[in-house]
A and B are shown apart, each in its own frame.
Chain A
Amino acid sequence: MDLTFSAQETAFRDELRAWLADNRPEAEPTEGGEDAQYQWRRDWQRRLYDAGWAAPAWPTEYGGRGASLTESAIYFEEIGRARVPLPANVLGLLLGGPTLMVWGTEEQKERYLSPILSAEEIWCQGFSEPDAGSDLASLKTKAVKDGDEWVVTGQKVWTSGAQYSKWCMLVARTDSDVPKHKGLTYFLMDMEQDAVQVRPLRQITGEAEFNELFIEEARIPDANVVGGVGNGWKVALTTLMNERAGLGFALQIRLRQLLDDAISVAAERGLLEDPVYGQELAELHTRCEAIRLLAWKGLTDVERYGQPGPEGSLVKWLWSDTNQRLTQLAVEIVGPAALTSGTTWSYEFLRARGNTIEGGTTEVLKNIVAERVLGLPRLKVAA
């Protein structure tokens, strides 16, 4: 066991930290709404890209730095520490690119990877459907072969960034006659066609971070199939694995910042000496550290054994629960301002409600832990 960074990892961290100190993004725009905010993050990615910091984990041949997993985690820790935003094309950088590197053809890698990195082409993820949430493999969006094209019809939901996206990682059913996991195919769908309509989905915070996609006979060339026809479930799992590993680290840092903010406010109000608040903040601090340690442990496991284990579900579960508990406590610490619309804390506690649903509900995560980590039997549900 050695929980210190190597000389190389320390050098990586210091270089990035120095660069971030010298290259802070402009202040977040307060006018112009979500579009202006998105453009601001796109400009920020461009700046990261020019300095080679958009996706250090990507291999050098694709424009990354070939950073190790540990360095990649350091990258998210430093981005968090500097309190700068994640790059705009986060789904392309963390999910789409790495999925193509595993499953894409040489032509696909050549065509798509570079514009992901430079934020010229934004990516979104078309997995969930109104009737296929936790039971993702039951999705109904259909793709039918027509010459050297596929014709796609269906509906997707929870598609963040769809209004800015050029490409959608789309999973659709190409064969209804085989068991549900086997009839799926993974496509790259061009969002710039009339057959794809994007409608903002307003969430409980009042903003529309996500969208619904209405797809009516959209066209996808056969060349845009990723990983082969009928292999979509496996390809999608690669994307989902990357989602837990990469984003997990970034989220953990955000939790730490919020906790530090809550502790500062508590200290200002003399609540840190109050044993009731002190107990709760100490518990949140301990959980926050446990999440960091478990995230690092998961990383060590990947470095030692290859794949991330289903134990990653524990980190996501603990993180989402802790973020809800923290933001709810903050309401009591901050007082009326936390219940006033438009404040950071009111946004945070409302947004936190989504944490135990998005990226695998806590109920599904508990099933995964029970079945795949503990080896408990699965209850057969009557069809």
Chain B
Amino acid sequence: MDFGLTDDQREIQRTARELLADRASAARVREHAEAQSTDEGLWKELSELGWPGIAVAEEHGGQGLGQVELSILCEELGRSLAPVPFLGSAMAATVIQQDGSAAQRERWLPGLASGETIGALGSASDGTAELVLGGREAQVFVLIEEDGSGRIVSADEAEITPVESVDPTRSTARVVSSAGEPVGDGSACAGLGRALVCVSSELVGVCDRALGMTVEYVKDRKQFGVPVGAYQAVSHRCAQMLLETEKARSTAAFAAWAADADPESLAEAAAMAKACASSAGVEVTASAIQAHGGIGFTWEADVHWLYKRAQIDAALLGGAKRHRARLAAILAERVGAGSAA
């Protein structure tokens, strides 16, 4: 029993954090957010470092590492708000790797692993997916229908309309297609659990950054002659932000571990992780705005980018309520199985 990261995993975390602190500074993120542009230079650099393929099998040109390592990168990218199409591309690759046929894996994974192909994954209803992350630049889409079944659709088979979402740090588009080919056997995609873990990990990074910025601010900002962080109304809010963040962190870490080590528990673990991360993401970043006071409501302060990123991620593949409903169904199945036995 050991909850910590291995030395190798800590090294991945450290180098990722250092690189992004330099390449995706707050000023840089703002520049791209205001221009609504992807940081193509950064995406190229991350691709050369092998990030998009970290969890893609070596036979398909990836690094063959696990969900824990992929989650580390998602968390760091969430923390930095880097304007790159990593999350959607990694989720698409994950589902193709888990559920795709040999031919589908061979066709798409090498490009997704090298970063030359950009992927995106979106929730669809009868072939229409609103607000697909990375939708503007993606060449391949994995569209997940409400029953969890998926289709792979290449960009030339889809009608793609750019949409401006509340979060301008990443591109979004409306994607409509009834073409493409099914991924998996028509039942719910096994790779979805991992995709949920990716989003949850990104949200943990967003929460952690929001808390860090807030703590720095309330230590510095003085009213009535003292730092506002000395007032318990403020400091207890910060403590609550930490509690929510740690709940999300521990459940996401467990789900990432389960994805590789205990796949049978992944469906439940991923639902818990996403329920926790979705509610933590929204609550923690909203608290960050509140604790920043008036400045937190201005365009000029950076805290709103976090709130907006959290809103998009919280809704992605279902919000907290949808995943709690899924958990309630799992609990009901378990009680039913127990009484039948």
Contacts and interface: CB of A to CB of B under 8 A. Distances in A.
Q: Which of B2, B247, B276 has the most CB of A within 10 A?
A: B2
Contacts of A285: 272, 327, 331
Contacts of B332: 267, 272-273, 278
Interface in B290-341: 321, 323-325, 327-329, 331-332, 335-336, 339
B251 A376 contact: no
A377 B216 CA distance: 11
Contacts of B227: 376-377
Contacts of A311: 246
Contact of A272 (B238, B321, B335): B335
A279 interface: yes
A370 B238 contact: yes
B331 A1 contact: no
Contact of B251 (A6, A278, A286): A286
Contacts of B219: 375-377
Interface stretch (B158-166, B189-197, B228-236): B228-236
A367 interface: yes
Nearest to A260: B335
Interface residues of B, number: 49
B113 interface: no
B257 interface: yes
Contacts of A33: none
Contacts of B331: 263, 272, 278, 281-282, 285
B239 A369 contact: yes
Interface in A345-375: 363, 365-367, 369-371, 373-375
A297 interface: yes
A367 B253 contact: no
B218 A318 contact: no
Contact of A290 (B4, B215, B231, B247): B247
Interface string B206-223: 000001000100110000
Contacts of B251: 286, 289-290, 293
A286 B272 contact: yes
B179 interface: no
Contacts of A296: 1, 3
Contacts of A289: 251, 254, 272
Nearest to A305: B4
Main secondary structure of the interface of A (DSSP, over half): helix
State the majority secondary structure of interface residues on B.
helix
Interface in B267-286: 272, 275-276
A293 to B, nearest CB: 4
A369 B240 CA distance: 9
Contacts of A282: 275, 323-325, 327-328, 331
A275 B325 contact: yes
Contacts of B92: none
Contacts of A5: 1
A376 B230 contact: yes
Contact of A281 (B262, B323, B328): B328
Contact of B232 (A6, A278, A366, A373): A366
A135 to B, nearest CB: 15
Contacts of B238: 370, 374, 376
B236 A370 contact: yes
B1 A4 contact: yes
A148 interface: no
Interface string B118-156: 000000000000000000000000000000000000000
Given A281-B328, A289-B251, A293-B251, A300 B232 contact: no
Given A273-B328, A366-B232, A369-B239, 11 more contacts: A267-B335, A282-B323, A290-B251, A290-B276, A297-B250, A314-B242, A365-B239, A374-B238, A376-B227, A377-B219, A377-B227
13 contacts: A1-B9, A3-B1, A5-B1, A272-B331, A275-B325, A281-B331, A293-B251, A294-B247, A304-B4, A370-B236, A374-B235, A374-B239, A375-B215
Interface of A: 1-6, 9, 70, 263-264, 267, 272-273, 275, 278-279, 281-283, 285-287, 289-290, 293-294, 296-297, 299-301, 303-304, 311, 314, 317-318, 363, 365-367, 369-371, 373-380
